[in-house]
C-alpha cells in the first residue's frame, strides 16, 4: 500500500483494458492519476469511482493521441503541480484488420501507425522534456510480442510494435544521462477490447482468438507494470515479455479442444 504516494502517473488509453487496469493498480498504491482516452464518459465514470474507492486525486480528459494539437494543449494546460509527472504509460493503441498485406485497407494502416507510433511520439515529446528538466521519471511503453515476431496477417500492426520497441531503445539511449527509466512491457494474448476493435465489433470472430486458451488479463499486465515502477530508483527493467502459458510465440498456441 502507498508505494506510489506523492507520485503522478499519466496514462493514455485509460478507458479500457490494460490502461484502465494500470490506473486501478496505481490508485491502490496511492498515486495521483492523469487519465486520458477518447471516450470521455467511460473515463469520467471510472475516474470518479477511483477517487471514491481510493481517496486519490484524478484528472481526466478526452485525448486522441493522434491529434498533435490536442496532445500539446492537454499537456501544456496542466496545472503546474500536475506537470511533475513521474510515470508515463504510453498504452493507447490498437490493431485494425487482419488482412494479407496485398489486401489490407490503407485506412486501417493509417489508424494503427497514427495511434501506435505517432501518438506515442506526440505524447512522449510533450512529457519527456518535463522529466528531463527534473532529471527524474519513468516511461513505460506498452509494446507487444508482435514487436518481436511477425505473424500471418499481422504485417502493419507488427510493424508498429517493432517501432515501439525501437523507440523504447531510442528514448533510453538519448536520456541515459538524465536519470530517466524506460521500460517496454510486451504482452502476448490479453483479453480486453483489443480483438473486438481489431475485428470492428465482430464478437464471434474476436472470441475465436482466445478459443481453448486461458489468455492473460489486463490485471496481469498491470501488475508487471507496477513491479517495474516500484523498483528502487537505480533499477531499470528494460523489457518484460509475458504470454499465456499456452502461448510459446506469437503464432504457436496450444488450444485445448
Ligand atoms: P483496449 O481496446 O481494451 O484498450 C485500448 C485503449 O486505447 C482504450 O482505452 C482506447 O480508448 C485507447 N485508444 C485507442 N485509440 C486511441 C487514440 N487514438 N487516442 C487515445 N486513446 C486511444 O485494448 P488493450 O488494453 O489490449 O490495448 C492496450 C495496449 O496494449 C495497446 O497498445 C495494444 O496494442 C497493446 N497490447 C494488447 C494486447 C492484447 O492482446 N490485448 C497484447 C499486446 C499489446 P478510447 O477508445 O476511449 O480512446
Ligand atoms: C497484441 C497481441 O498477438 O494479437 O499485441 O498481436 S497479438
pTM (two decimals): 0.98
Contact 85, 132 (CB under 8 A): no
Per-residue pLDDT of the chain (257 residues; tens, 9 = 90+): 799 999 999 999 999 999 999 999 999 999 999 999 999 999 999 999 999 999 999 999 999 999 999 999 999 999 999 999 999 999 999 999 999 999 999 999 999 999 999 999 999 999 999 999 999 999 999 999 999 999 999 999 999 999 999 999 999 999 999 999 999 999 999 999 999 999 999 999 999 999 999 999 999 999 999 999 999 999 999 999 999 999 999 999 999 98
139 inside domain:
yes
For residue 122, what pLDDT is reported?
A: 99
103 inside domain:
yes
Catalytic residue numbers, as ranges: 157, 161
Domain extent, residue 132, equals 8-242
130 inside domain:
yes
For residue 123, the domain's CATH number is: 3.40.50.720
For residue 117, what pLDDT is reported?
A: 99
197 inside domain:
yes
Query: What ligand has the least distance to the C-alpha of 149?
Result: 2
Is the shortest distance between the CB of 9 and ligand 2 below 6 Å?
Answer: no
For residue 1, what pLDDT is reported?
A: 76
For residue 215, what pLDDT is reported?
A: 98
201 alpha carbon to ligand 2 midpoint, in Å? 17
Q: Write the DSSP assignment of 185-221 as a string of letters.
A: EEES-EESSHHHHHTTT-HHHHHHTTTT---EEHHHH
250 inside domain:
no
Phi-psi region of 97 (alpha: psi -120 to 50; beta: other; left: phi over 0): left
Number of independent structural domains in the chain: 1
Query: What ligand has the least distance to the C-alpha of 63?
Result: 1
92 alpha carbon to ligand 1 midpoint, in Å? 5
248 inside domain:
no
85 alpha carbon to ligand 2 midpoint, in Å? 29
Q: Tell the residue number behind the cell numbers 531503445, with chain if given.
A: 169
Which atom of ligand 2 is the closest one to the Cα of 154? 6
2 inside domain:
no
251 inside domain:
no
Which residue's CA is the nearest one to ligand 2's atom 6?
A: 146
Contact 123, 166 (CB under 8 A): no
Amino acid at each position: 500500500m502507498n508505494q506510489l504516494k506523492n507520485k503522478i502517473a499519466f496514462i493514455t488509453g485509460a478507458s479500457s483494458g490494460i490502461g484502465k487496469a494500470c490506473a486501478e493498480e496505481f490508485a491502490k498504491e496511492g498515486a495521483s492519476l492523469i487519465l486520458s482516452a477518447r471516450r470521455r464518459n467511460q473515463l469520467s465514470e471510472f475516474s470518479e469511482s477511483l477517487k471514491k474507492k481510493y481517496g486519490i486525486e484524478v484528472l481526466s480528459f478526452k485525448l486522441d493521441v493522434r491529434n498533435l494539437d490536442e496532445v500539446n494543449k492537454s499537456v501544456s494546460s496542466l496545472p503546474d503541480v500536475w506537470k511533475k509527472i513521474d510515470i508515463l504509460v504510453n498504452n493507447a493503441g490498437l490493431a485494425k484488420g487482419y488482412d494479407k498485406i496485398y489486401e489490407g485497407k490503407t485506412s486501417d494502416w493509417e489508424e494503427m501507425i497514427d495511434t501506435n507510433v505517432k501518438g506515442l511520439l506526440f505524447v512522449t515529446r510533450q512529457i519527456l522534456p518535463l522529466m528531463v528538466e527534473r532529471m527524474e521519471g519513468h516511461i513505460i511503453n506498452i509494446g507487444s510480442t508482435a514487436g518481436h515476431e511477425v505473424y500471418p496477417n499481422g504485417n502493419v500492426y507488427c510493424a508498429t510494435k517493432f517501432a515501439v520497441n525501437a523507440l523504447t531503445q531510442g528514448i533510453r539511449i538519448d536520456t541515459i544521462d538524465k536519470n530517466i527509466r524506460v521500460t517496454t512491457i510486451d504482452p502476448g494474448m490479453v483479453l480486453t477490447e483489443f480483438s473486438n476493435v481489431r475485428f470492428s465489433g465482430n464478437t464471434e470472430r474476436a472470441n475465436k482468438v482466445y478459443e481453448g486458451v486461458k489468455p492473460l488479463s489486463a490485471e496481469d499486465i498491470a501488475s508487471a507494470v507496477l513491479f517495474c515502477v516500484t523498483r528502487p530508483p537505480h533499477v531499470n527493467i528494460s523489457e518484460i515479455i509475458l504470454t499465456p502459458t499456452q502461448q510459446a510465440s506469437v503464432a504457436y498456441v496450444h488450444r485445448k479442444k
